[in-house]
């Protein structure tokens, strides 16, 4: 039984030493002036950039889809405004004719409302 305990303790100590030394590196171990590490860093940077952009694109698609789906159920604030157009009659009179428009929250015209249906 003592033999197994020693092997288990030795294995645990080796594992702890390996994990501890792997995570404690604060500086670079290799010579960065050599082409191998430079190529490795360039490839790692490119792979990280590609993976980051792919993840960002996926998140953007999901958030955009969620916002688009949500906006379908949110009523957009609209209102009707009335403009007056002058028309010349055949007998020479000038009259004002109302023209109603549906506009968005910024006052941009969406469409003209047919006469007589604006304020029902």
Tokens of 2: 């003592």
Number of H helices, E strands in the chain: 2, 3
Selection from 50, 108, 43, 44 nearest residue 79 by Cα: 108
The whole-angstrom separation of Cα 117 and Cα 88 is: 24
Digit-coded pLDDT (tens) for 85-107: 999 999 999 999 999 999 988 88
The whole-angstrom separation of Cα 50 and Cα 55 is: 9
Digit-coded pLDDT (tens) for 50-98: 888 888 888 888 888 888 887 777 677 778 889 999 999 999 999 999 9
DSSP string, 57-107: HHHHHHHHHHHHHHHHSSPPP-EEEEEEEEEE-TTS-EEEEEEEEEE-TTS
pLDDT of residue 77: 72
Digit-coded pLDDT (tens) for 30-40: 777 777 778 88
pLDDT of residue 7: 64
* pTM recorded for the entire structure: 0.36
């Amino acid at each position: 039984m003592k033999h197994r305990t020693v092997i288990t303790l030795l294995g645990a100590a080796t594992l702890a030493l390996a994990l501890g030394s792997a995570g404690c590196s604060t500086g670079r171990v290799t010579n960065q002036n050599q082409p191998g590490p430079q190529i490795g860093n360039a490839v790692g940077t490119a792979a990280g950039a590609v993976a980051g952009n792919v993840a960002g694109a996926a998140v953007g698609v999901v958030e955009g889809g969620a916002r688009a789906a949500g906006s379908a159920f949110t009523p957009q604030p609209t209102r009707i405004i009335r403009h007056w157009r002058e028309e010349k009659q055949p007998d020479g009179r000038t009259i004002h004719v109302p023209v109603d428009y549906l506009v968005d929250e910024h006052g941009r015209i969406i469409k003209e409302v047919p006469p007589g249906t604006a304020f029902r």
